[in-house]
Amino acid sequence: MRTPPGTPPEPGAPGLSDATRGRILFGGDYNPEQWPEETWPEDVRLMKEAGVNSVTLGVFSWARLEPRPGAREFGWLDRLMDLMHEHGIGVVLATPTSSPPPWLGRLHPETLPRDEDGRTEWWGSRQHFSHSSAVYRRRAAAITEDLAARYGAHPALTMWHINNEYCTTDHGDEAAGAFRRWLQDRYGTLGALNTAWGTACWGQSYDDWHEIVPPRHAHYLKNPTQVLDFRRFTSDMLLECCAAERDIVRRHSPAIPVTSNFMPMWVGQDAWRWAAEEDVVSVDLYPDPRDPLGAQYGALVQDMTRSQAAGGSWMLMEQAAGAVSWRTVNHPKPRGLNRLWSLQAVARGADAVCYFQWRASRQGAEKFHSGMIGHAGEPGRGFQEIKEIGAELALLAPHVAGTRVPAGIAILHDWNSWWAGAHEGALSARNDYAEVLRAWHRALWEAHLTTAFAHPEHDLSGYRMVVVPQLYLLTDRAIENLTAYARAGGTLVCGFLTGVADEDDRVRPGGMDERLRDLFGIRTLHEWWPLDPGETAVCDGFTGTLWSEEIEPGPDAVVEARYRGGELDGLPAVLRRGTARYLSTLPEPPALRALLTGAAEQAGVRPVLDELPDGVEAVRRGGLLFLLNHGRDPVTVEVPGSHRDLLGGANVRDRVRLERLGAAVLAP
Ligand code: GLA
């Protein structure tokens, strides 16, 4: 179960290409059980018209498949699987285990999760299952077994989809028992646990395993390592559930790839470990159409997902054709945006562009969520655009499917560090890990420098430059990895609050690991000086935000920028020793961009193109150049030489015009 992060897929294991077979998968979640059966032929007709070649079935169908304990109603699914096969549409078949039927909770209330305050999460929504419940696991295995036995050899089946967006926690009693077993496995003895958790503080020492409970409602700040371990445990428990179902479906259909869809940048799952357990890495992605940096957020998630797939192709399992139904205000996508963001996913390595969902529901909690066919039906703008996208993806497929996206820069990211840094007793509640990561990715994205993500213990030797926006917690192995990388001549740029804590969230002597201080030329880190909202730190040539630090440089450090004025006047804001740089603040976006661009230049990493108009994104995939205009005005992009635009079919010489939200995919 414990596959180390970054493990490449086993040779001979099935992968996404077994499902795509040279195509780009196009389609989405199909919930025909919400519609009278008479609509199914009409659905298929429209799917064919739109170029849909893949549907995801059964995601929430447990109650339909097993309406009462032990019953099996597969007839409707038999008919659907056959219908799809008849029309050449592949099926990504989901195990229905993310929404247990009401009878399970009624007969076995212990399958329902409890939150920190002891409140039960009842049925009537979805995801009301405890990952630690033996009954839930047994029932989930039973329905998965029967599903896999029945459809494992069905010719329509192209992929297994386990559960859906695993994301639950449970603080109840059965979870408490599982937590203890997980801790026994990790620490062996109570003495080791007491040491790791620092229970000497506030008299928390444990004398009996049964005294240990999940972090529950408490009077004041909770033990940080207990909270950290509970997050690790939760991620591992969910992964155990996922792997158990995976093993069942694999037994019945070893040649069919297995996936479980991630939520984008979801805090609750160590997706490095998860990805190593899957045949296909898939993600659901819903940038806000109104967010001026929505495309950047999309690019970040896509780069992350591709990296979890070890740089190979990945699957966009869900996106929205228009509005979602879970934001405070749900905005539709303006004309062209669905196409543009679909092409962006392909540019960044997706070989599958799919949606939640095929047809907008008329009832239920998501009745206002868009579909590939919206409430306006066939004549609706949304469906017309879907047809255009389907046709374009079919055009692109022979040129892109299976090709790779070169990236010279790695951004390091680790869930353990995110979890530990988010503790309520942190130095500043304003220091939001995900936001800092996003700021650094944005700087590189705006500079047209394509990035990958990597775990801090991954082999980094393939990257010319490595950046660490913030890794508060670093293992010894990760520190050795980083220092070895820089000592071998790699360009390393590291942000504040990195290397502060060890694996148990114990502050390293000196406030930052000695090996890292030495690497960056920091003699003493005297104090952290987090900034208040709106407060900035004036530095040479730029303004720092969010953070500052009182650092005394060592003798061979080069101070590239200093704080000016205030308590830290004259102290280093940016420090370099050899090829390793340390930023003790978060420079404002243009300054961070300039700084990282400068470092990339020194490292010999070139942007995809120079001199692009504002709002244009350029990405290379295989031999193709994707140009994406995220702006609302037409622009002209200089592209020296002659090319063929695969989308318009035109020959392009030296420059290409991109319409508002327009795109070009240039082949040599
Ligand atoms: C997630 C879920 C879907 C659906 C969409 C709505 O991605 O997996 O079932 O709820 O959100 O955006």
Spatial distance between the Cα atoms of 651 and 668, rounded to a whole number of angstroms? 10
Q: How far is the CA of 145 from the centre of ligand 1 (A)?
A: 25
Cα 525 to averaged position of ligand 1 atoms, centre (Å): 45
Q: How many other C-beta atoms are found inside a 10 Å radius of the C-beta of residue 86?
A: 11
Structure confidence at residue 11 as a pLDDT band (50, 70, 90): confident
pLDDT of residue 494: 98
308 SS3 class: helix
Yes or no: say if 72 and 144 are a contact pair by the CB < 8 Å rule.
no
Q: Cβ(303) to ligand 1 under 6 A?
A: no
Q: Which residue has the tokens 């010894």?
A: 476
| Nearest by Cα to 605 from 403, 447, 404 | 447
Say yes or no to pLDDT of 308 above 70.
yes
Would you kindly state where each structural domain of the chain is located, as residue ranges? Answer: 409-603, 616-667
From the alpha carbon of 284, which atom of ligand 1 is closest? Answer: 7
Buried b (16+ CB within 10 A) or exposed e, 402-426: eeebebbbbbbbbbbbbbbbbbeeb
Per DSSP, the three-state class of 148 is: helix
Strand partners, 30: 57
CATH fold, domain 409-603, is: Rossmann fold (3.40.50)
Q: Return phi, psi of residue 430, to 5°.
A: -80, -15
Q: Which atom of ligand 1 is nearest to the CA of 286?
A: 12
Residue 284 Cβ inside 6 Å of ligand 1? The answer reads yes
Write out the DSSP string of 530-570.
Answer: PPPTT-EEEETTEEEES--EEEEE-TT-EEEEEB-SSTTTT
Indicate which residue's Cα is closest to atom 9 of ligand 1. 356
- Is pLDDT at 75 greater than 60 in this prediction? yes
Minimal-distance CA residue to ligand 1 atom 1: 284
Q: Closest Cα to atom 3, ligand 1: which residue?
A: 356
Does residue 6 register a pLDDT over 90? no
Per DSSP bridges, beta strands 491-494 and 580-583 are parallel
pLDDT band at 42 (very low <50, low <70, confident <90, very high): very high
- With a cut of 80, say whether residue 7 has pLDDT above it: no
Ligand 1 center to 356 CA (angstroms)? 6
Pocket probe for ligand 1: among 262, 284, 315, 325, the residue whose CB has the most ligand atoms within 8 Å is: 284
Report the alpha-carbon distance of residue 208 to residue 196 in Å, rounded.
Answer: 16
Q: Does residue 356 line the site of ligand 1, with CB under 6 A?
A: yes
Q: Kind and range of the H or E element at 94?
A: strand 90-94
Q: Is the pLDDT score of 278 beyond 50?
A: yes
pLDDT, tens only, 393-449: 999 999 999 999 999 999 999 999 999 999 999 999 999 999 999 999 999 999 999
Specify the range with the lowest mean pLDDT, choosing from 2-11, 218-227, 580-589: 2-11
Contact 467, 623 (CB under 8 A): no
CA dist 303 and 617 (Å) reads: 14
pLDDT at position 10: 76
Answer whether 321 contacts ligand 1 (Cβ < 6 A).
Answer: no
Contact call for residues 182 and 188 (beta carbons, < 8 A): no
Reported as a pLDDT band with limits 50, 70 and 90, residue 2 is very low
Q: Which of 236, 350, 218 is nearest to 282 (CA)?
A: 350
What is the average pLDDT score of the chain? Answer: 97
Task: Please give the pLDDT value at position 3.
Answer: 44
Which residues lie across from 666 on neighbouring strands?
Answer: 625, 645
Percent of the chain with pLDDT over 70: 99
Q: Which residue's entry shows tokens 């679909």? A: 342
102: left (phi > 0), else alpha (psi -120 to 50), else beta?
Answer: alpha
* Cβ 161 under 6 angstroms from ligand 1: no
What pLDDT is attached to residue 337?
98
Q: Which residue has the tokens 């500079």?
A: 447
Q: How many other CB atoms sit within 10 Å of the CB of residue 122?
A: 12
Residue 12 has pLDDT above 90, yes or no: no
Amino acid at position 516, single letter: L
Cα 619 → chain centroid: 19
| 475/478 Cα distance (integer angstroms) | 5
What type of residue is 583?
L
Ligand 1 site-directed mutation target among 366, 368, 370, 372, most atoms within 8 Å of CB: 366
Nearest to 481 by CA among 496, 507, 463, 497: 463
Q: Do β-strands 451-454 and 409-412 pair in parallel, antiparallel, or remain unpaired?
A: parallel
Q: What is the mean pLDDT of residues 609-626?
A: 96
Which of the residues 318, 457, 549, 560 is marked catalytic? 318
In what side-by-side order are the strands of the sheet with 586-587? 536-539, 542-545, 586-587
Q: What is the pLDDT of residues 191-205, one digit of tens each?
A: 999 999 999 999 999
Mention every residue, 6+ apart, whose C-beta is less than 8 A from residue 288: 294, 297, 327, 331
Residue nearest to atom 12 of ligand 1 (CA): 324
As a whole number, mean pLDDT of residues 115-138 equals 98
Catalytic residue among 66, 121, 165, 278: 165
3-state secondary structure 234-254: HHHHHHHHHHHHHHHHHHHCC
What would the 3-class secondary structure string for 468-519 be? Answer: ECCCCECCHHHHHHHHHHHHCCCEEEECCCCCCECCCCCECCCCCCHHHHHH
- CATH number for the domain formed by residue range(s) 616-667: 2.60.40.1180
- Write out the two tokens for 608: 């995809």
Percent helix, strand and coil across the chain, each to the nearest 5: 35, 20, 45
Residue nearest atom 7 in ligand 1 by C-alpha distance? 284
The pLDDT tens digits of the residues spanning 88-116 come to: 999 999 999 999 999 999 999 999 999 99
State yes or no: is 165 an active-site residue: yes
Helix ranges (H only) for 521-666 are: 589-603
List Cα–Cα distances, 235 to 26, 160, 231, 470, in angstroms: 30, 21, 6, 21
In the chain, the amino acid numbered 266 is: W
List, for residues 456-480, the tens digit of each pLDDT value: 999 999 999 999 999 999 999 999 9
Which ligand 1 atom is at minimum distance from the Cα of 165? 8
Quote the ligand 1 centre to 168 CA distance (angstroms).
14
CA 323 to ligand 1 centroid distance, Å:
12
Upstream peptide bond of 184 is cis (omega within 30 degrees of 0): no
Q: Which atom of ligand 1 is nearest to the CA of 320?
A: 12
Percent above pLDDT 90 for the chain? 98
Residue type at 292 in one-letter notation: P
pTM above 0.95, yes or no: yes
Rg (the chain; Cα; Å): 26
Which residue shows structure tokens 């990339």? 600
The pLDDT of residue 1: 33
